[in-house]
Structure 1
Amino acid sequence: MEGASNGGMLYHEVQESKLCAVHCVNTVLQGPFFSELDLAALASDLDRKERQMMLGGAAETINDGLLSEESHNVSMDGDFSIQVLQRALEVWDLQVIPLKNPVAEPAQIDPELENAFICHLQDHWFCIRKVNGEWYNFDSLYAAPEHLSKFYLSAYLDTLKGFGWSIFLVRGNFPNECPITSSEASYGYGQWLSPEDAERITKSCNSVQRPPHRTDLTQHVSDPFLQYREADMLLDAEDEDLKAAIAASLMDSSPPIVVAEAGTSQNENKNSRDENA
């Protein structure tokens, strides 16, 4: 039997600016393999090739100055396209496949058989990854990776799909080891955690409050991204039966979650559980 990858450690990156695409790629690979400059270079190369295909060499010479100001692969605030993430992972012989693709049908039936998923909505990317046989949510808006049970994995993916998230399957030979070098320190936002440390940090955040930046991204109740965050808070309940009931209800067409009511309900439920404990 092979030993645990990276000595059993989990690699996690906490949100820095709007670099969630960088964090997503690195947590898929479980190491600080790419910086924002690396992805920007890939985006620039994709833009150049797209212009060549659309305009041809002569036309590009004339119009390049006009078209180069707009990129289809990276926005001014640093959000990268799925094509950039695909190119980055292709460097490691990994394929990124839309979950709706017929090739990914087995993953829709039994996601536990896979190793990684990339999730995207609006301008946020994060990955769900199997590490050492266990599933974790490596969302960079979280202080640490959150463990997902095998049951919860399927329900969680269905919940995301219900709220409009685009989900991509990642397949291939994932790196087993990532030497911890000075490059990690230069990025500044990467950290190695044991599963025990990750669980401790997650429980600490859940018992006090969610990190403030998780709700700062959106301000409108009608925003599906905010709905997902509110739903995610409800799905953190420890009772497995409650998780199943909530997941089932979220997959139905239900009215938008009201922030004030959702927050009040969650606090009341938590206080009730504490009193009964």
Structure 2
Amino acid sequence: MEVETRAQIYHERQRLQFCLLHSLNNLFQEKDAFTRAYLNAISERLDLDDPAKGRWSPIFKSHHNTITGNYDINVLIAALEGKGKTVVWHDRRNRASAIDLDGHSDKLMGIILNIPVRRCAGLWKSRHWVALRRIEGVWYNLDSEFAAPYAFKDLEEVRKLLDGIIADGAEILLVNNEAQ
């Protein structure tokens, strides 16, 4: 009797607006690959690099909210570069078929999505960070708002999701293992 075994998938659940932190840890498949303190330090460093922007409020910094999280793209890129990764923006004019999801190369570590969302009956617009990663040949949606990781059935399902969110205004960031 054959028993199908799936890899153990690390999955952090959403707390406040720390979806960037959760998506990074989910991408790296490690609980403390990134911490709030680490991301806050990056944000503070970015604020010091541009003093005109950084000190306008003790709570609402230019790169994050000190209470709820809500980190921006600058923090994401600096965090990933600090771990030796590169980030490439996917040109939204291209469909998902332009992304090498097949794994012919070990270059692509995973994908980070920045998806527009509406909350509070559409009164509040925000954005949500989500990680997609291929683990043992299977692509997973590691959205921190999901109760558990979602295993895509095939590459076409991944491409369909990506094409749909591109049409809805999402940004797709390809996280690569090596510098370009």
Please report the TM-score for the alignment, with normalisation by the length of structure 1: 0.50
What's 2:64 paired with? 74
Q: Distance in 1 between the 2:99 and 2:19 partners?
A: 28
2:134 is aligned, of 130, 145, 152, to 130
What's 2:112 paired with? 118
1:94 is aligned, of 85, 89, 100, to 85
1:110–1:154 CA contact under 8 A, matched in 2: no
Cα gap change, 1:152/1:29 in structure 2, threshold over 3 Å: closer, same or farther?
Answer: same
2:97–2:159 CA contact under 8 A, matched in 1: no
Give aligned-pair identity as a percent: 28
Larger radius of gyration: 1
Q: Deviations over 1:12-42 (max 9, x none)?
A: 1011122111001111111021121211111
Q: Distance in 2 between the 1:120 and 1:156 partners?
A: 13
Number of residue-to-residue matches in the alignment: 155
Q: Distance in 2 between the 1:162 and 1:111 partners?
A: 19
Secondary structure of the residue aligned to 2:17 is: coil
Secondary structure of the residue aligned to 1:23 is: helix
Structure in which a larger fraction of residues adopt strand? 2
Q: Distance in 2 between the 1:118 and 1:159 partners?
A: 15
2:27–2:110 CA contact under 8 A, matched in 1: yes
What's 1:230 paired with? none
Pair 1:171-2:176 in alignment: yes
- State the AA in 2 paired with 1:85: L
Q: Distance in 1 between the 2:71 and 2:156 partners?
A: 31
Cα gap change, 1:125/1:156 in structure 2, threshold over 3 Å: closer, same or farther?
Answer: same
2:109–2:133 CA contact under 8 A, matched in 1: yes
Please report the TM-score for the alignment, with normalisation by the length of structure 2: 0.75
- State the AA in 2 paired with 1:130: R
> C-alpha displacement at 1:106, in angstroms?
9.2
What's 1:38 paired with? 38
Cα gap change, 1:171/1:141 in structure 2, threshold over 3 Å: closer, same or farther?
Answer: same
Secondary structure of the residue aligned to 2:86 is: strand
Aligned-residue RMSD, C-alpha:
2.7
2:90–2:172 CA contact under 8 A, matched in 1: yes
Q: Which segments of structure 1 move beyond 6 Å, counting only runs of 4 or more? A: 104-107
Structure in which a larger fraction of residues adopt helix? 1
Q: Which runs of 5+ in 2 are unaligned?
A: 1-5, 116-125
Q: Comparing both chains, which one has the higher relative contact order based on Cα–Cα distances under 8 Å and sequence gaps of 6 or more?
A: 2
